[in-house]
């Protein structure tokens, strides 16, 4: 008799539809892309913190460099150099459109690589030539190179585009963007403390090249990050058919004006995109309020019932908790209530963006009104509530991406984030420079 065929109730029955090994391996690779991206963001942020700290320590007595506080923490103040930032942003504004379009057509990975290469070149110039007779010309050349390679705006744009490629919905996209903001901030601070440790070690050893050592450390870490991106980081962009690729610009001017044209293109949801971009810029104008408020409040000795170190650190901790705890908790609540759909994700992003921008506006107004009476409970309320508004940017970015995808422009996410990123950078710069003046 022929052997009986196994039935579906037999416990050792083999699966008739096993998962192909190549598909399971591909799923594993996809799950590792976000941690790998966060690693790149973390190392890049460490290098940025080292660089900003070291530039201030090297050139704070030079009349050609104008600095203002960007981050204030116990034993650490990281300062922004206004002229260099302005010069780099001008060039970045002209190049971000080209790099963003390139990332949409050729992939995120090469753009991420070159946007990280620019700061390495600039730091190498600071390390080797900045104090020579070629000082001014060398710095100018370095800033132009950094800007032409995209600078920080392009780096921020391609990181968000990469994360968007990985996220299946607006709900997860909002959480991812919050994690990116948290990683960038935390490891930027770590980089600043690395600079402090470099100075301390040089003093302990009787060396006079502490700042140069910090630059060298930053260059080594950044070069390692470039190697990691080149050899290890996978591409996030799924290859598209040639007819699905976004059209290339007809002229260089189209790329230069891309930060305008991308957000003002005539289409049914143009008004929504414009108001989202306007909200992003308006919020970014408050970015310098937090660090300068912390510094001025702690220096003046207000809230004496709190230790100074605690007063300085509370706003930073509140911001990090918002990115890493509050946003994921809200996303989990929305998911349980409404499911993980595009509608529920857009609901979360819209509500979070509206409330965060409103909170930032109210806190800014309250601080301006009660700033002369810093012992006022209302001043304290606005001071400690303002850091909770940091959910605005992740939510606005996620909401903009949601509308972009709804318009059928998913192949141009790089262009969207490039335009948003350069305007956020300009808003942050104007915020810092207005407080400085």
Q: Is residue 41 within 8 Å of residue 186, measured between CB atoms?
A: no
- The residue that leads in pLDDT, 281 or 240, is 281
pLDDT at 241: 44
Which residue is it, tokens 């595009």? 342
Most confident of 26-30, 122-126, 213-217, 412-416: 412-416
Burial string for 337-351 (b: 16+ CB within 10 Å, else e) reads eeeeeeebbbbbbbe
Is the pLDDT assigned to residue 384 strictly greater than 70?
yes
Is the pLDDT assigned to residue 46 strictly greater than 90?
yes
Which one, of 399, 416, 407, 272, lies nearest residue 343 by Cα?
Answer: 399
- The residue that leads in pLDDT, 330 or 205, is 330
Return the DSSP state at 209. -
pLDDT at 407: 86
Burial label for 7, CB within 10 Å (0-12, 13-18, 19+), is exposed
- The residue that leads in pLDDT, 184 or 293, is 184
pLDDT, tens digit, for every residue of 333-373?
Answer: 999 999 989 899 999 999 999 999 999 989 888 887 877 66
Lowest mean pLDDT among 137-141, 313-317, 334-338: 137-141
Structure tokens at 241: 């058919």
Which one, of 405, 365, 48, 382, lies nearest residue 218 by Cα?
Answer: 48
The pLDDT of 196-204, averaged and rounded, is 81
pLDDT at 24: 59
DSSP tally for the chain: helices H, then strands E: 17, 2
Q: How confident is the model at residue 408 (pLDDT cuts 50, 70, 90)?
A: confident
The pLDDT of 66-71, averaged and rounded, is 84
Rg over alpha carbons for the chain, rounded to the nearest Å, is 24
Interatomic CA distance for residues 183 and 155, integer angstroms = 14
pLDDT at 22: 57
Q: Which domains does the chain have, with CATH numbers?
A: 34-236+255-436 (1.20.1250.20)
pLDDT, tens digit, for every residue of 100-111?
Answer: 999 998 899 999
Is the pLDDT assigned to residue 16 strictly greater than 50?
no
Is the pLDDT assigned to residue 242 strictly greater than 50?
no
Q: How confident is the model at residue 297 (pLDDT cuts 50, 70, 90)?
A: confident
Average pLDDT, the chain: 85
Q: How confident is the model at residue 11 (pLDDT cuts 50, 70, 90)?
A: very low
pLDDT at 84: 86
Lowest mean pLDDT among 101-110, 119-128, 280-289: 280-289
Is the pLDDT assigned to residue 433 strictly greater than 60?
yes
Q: Is residue 94 within 8 Å of residue 260, measured between CB atoms?
A: no
Interatomic CA distance for residues 112 and 148, integer angstroms = 13
Tell me how crowded residue 64 is: count the other CB atoms within 10 A of its CB: 11
């Amino acid at each position: 008799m022929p052997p009986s065929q196994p039935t579906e109730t037999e416990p050792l029955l083999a699966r008739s539809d096993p998962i192909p090994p190549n598909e399971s391996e591909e799923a594993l690779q996809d799950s590792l892309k976000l941690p790998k991206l966060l690693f790149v963001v973390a190392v890049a942020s460490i290098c940025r913190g080292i660089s900003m700290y070291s530039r201030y320590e090297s050139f704070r007595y030079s009349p050609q460099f104008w600095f203002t506080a960007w981050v204030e923490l116990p034993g650490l103040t990281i300062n922004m150099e206004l002229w260099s930032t302005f010069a780099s942003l001008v060039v970045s504004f002209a190049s971000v459109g080209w790099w963003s379009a390139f990332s949409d057509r050729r992939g995120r990975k090469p753009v991420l690589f070159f946007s990280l290469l620019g700061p390495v070149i600039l730091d190498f110039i600071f390390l080797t030539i900045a104090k020579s007779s070629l000082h001014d010309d060398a710095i100018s050349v370095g800033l132009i190179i950094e800007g032409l390679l995209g600078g920080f705006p392009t780096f921020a744009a391609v990181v968000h585009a990469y994360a968007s490629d990985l996220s299946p919905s607006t709900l997860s996209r909002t959480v991812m963007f919050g994690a990116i903001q948290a990683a960038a901030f935390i490891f930027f601070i770590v980089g600043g403390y690395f600079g402090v440790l470099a100075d301390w070690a040089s003093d302990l050893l009787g060396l006079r090249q502490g700042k140069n050592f910090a630059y060298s450390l930053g260059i080594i870490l950044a070069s390692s990050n470039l190697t990691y991106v080149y050899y290890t980081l996978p591409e996030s962009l799924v290859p598209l058919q040639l007819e699905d690729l976004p059209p290339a610009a007809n002229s260089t001017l189209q790329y230069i004006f891309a930060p305008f044209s991308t957000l003002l293109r005539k289409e049914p949801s143009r008004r929504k995109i414009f108001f989202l971009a306007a909200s992003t810029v308006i919020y970014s104008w408050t970015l310098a309020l937090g660090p300068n408020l912390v510094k001025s409040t702690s220096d003046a000795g207000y809230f004496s019932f709190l230790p100074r170190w605690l007063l300085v650190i509370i706003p930073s901790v509140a911001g990090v908790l918002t990115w890493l705890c509050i946003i994921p908790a809200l996303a989990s609540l929305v998911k349980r209530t409404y499911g993980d759909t595009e509608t529920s994700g857009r609901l979360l992003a819209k509500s979070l963006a509206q409330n965060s921008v409103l909170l930032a506006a109210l806190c800014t107004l309250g601080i301006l009104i009660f700033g002369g009476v810093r012992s006022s409970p209302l001043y304290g309320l606005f001071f400690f509530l303002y850091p909770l508004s940091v959910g605005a940017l992740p939510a606005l970015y996620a909401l903009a991406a949601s509308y972009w995808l709804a318009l059928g422009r998913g192949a141009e996410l790089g262009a969207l984030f490039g335009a948003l990123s350069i305007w956020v950078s300009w808003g942050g710069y104007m915020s810092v420079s207005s407080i400085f003046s």
